[in-house]
Amino acid sequence: MSESALFVVATPIGNLQDLSQRAIDVLQSVEVIAAEDTRHSARLLAHFNINTRLISVHEHNERQRIETVLAMLEEGKSIALISDAGTPLISDPGFVVVRAVREAGYKVVPVPGCAAFVTALSAAGLPSDRFSFEGFPPPKRNARLQCYSALADESRTLIFYESPHRVLESLKDMAESFGGERVAAVARELTKTFETIKSAPLAELVEWMAADHNQQKGEFVLLVQGRPKKDEGALDAKTEEVLDILLAELPVKQAAALASKITGVKKNLLYKLALERGE
């Protein structure tokens, strides 16, 4: 390679055939591969007869590796950064190194491929025009409930990763926070032999997973459809109650204006309803 660079290389999340030819060429051509787990990545490299030297870059040593990476780049060497599966930096290490390399003025080249949350979104059947990737939710239940409750009114599709030993409890917490009728999807073991993608209301997903322990094994992506936007012409019961109380004492125009100040609902909408009430 003519110019030293850090290549951020996506690797398969399950099916080894998903590794692109470009990724194979890069991994064969660089001087060093910085891997999250060298033992795990060694098996992938052996499958493709890639003999490039490995060094570890993981969450516990990433900052310490910056000097090593920058020294190699200074010597004109190129490095590939990979995680155990999927795209580096996406709920995986790499951000610290990538930022340091860019700040030092060296080239960072993405070599795209698999990302579990994109793979799940493409097949889950939930709205994909707007979405928010939230990574792993908090491991403790109270914090997890707070996390979900804070997102309950979000209109975008929400995407989470979850571990097998928490996935059922996490689904239960989702049903409690978002409502059991909210449509969601469980994507399990994507691209692997026992791949499962099931979409249903959260209450149904909880029952389905609780009834089959095998569905609690593997690697998970959980997707939750965003909260539907309220019809601007629809008013909740409390707003209508406020308007009715004011109409009993005030003229229509004044009642609508005061109800708007109290509830935050648009005055013209309340005025229209007030006129209908008087018919």
Residues 222-245: what's their mean pLDDT? 82
The pLDDT value given to residue 235: 74
Q: Give the tens place of pLDDT for each residue, 141-183.
A: 999 999 999 999 899 999 999 999 999 999 999 999 999 999 9
The residue type of 143 is A
pLDDT reading at 194 higher than 90:
yes
Q: How many residues does the chain have?
A: 279
pTM over 0.95: no
Q: Is 91 left (phi over 0), alpha (psi -120 to 50) or beta?
A: left
Q: Would you state the pLDDT for residue 274?
A: 86
Predicted local confidence at residue 275, as pLDDT = 87
What is each CA distance from 44 to 38, 116, 188, 275, in whole angstroms? 10, 18, 21, 71
Contact 74, 54 (CB under 8 A): no
Question: Which is it for the CA torsion 210, 211, 217, 220, positive or negative?
Answer: negative
In angstroms, rounded to a whole number, what is the distance separating the alpha carbons of residues 126 and 194?
21
CA 67 to chain centroid, in Å, comes to 31
Contact 185, 248 (CB under 8 A): no
Element (H, E) at 107: strand 107-111
pLDDT at 217: 96
Whether the CA torsion 104, 106, 110, 111 is positive or negative: it is negative
How far is residue 20 from each of residues 25, 112, 118, measured CA to CA in Å?
9, 9, 17
Inter-CA distances, 149 with 145, 175, 181, 182, 224, Å: 6, 10, 15, 13, 13
Cβ–Cβ < 8 Å for 184, 223: yes
Question: 95-144 pLDDT, tens per residue?
Answer: 999 999 999 999 999 999 999 999 999 999 999 999 999 999 999 999 99
Looking at residue 56, its amino acid is: S
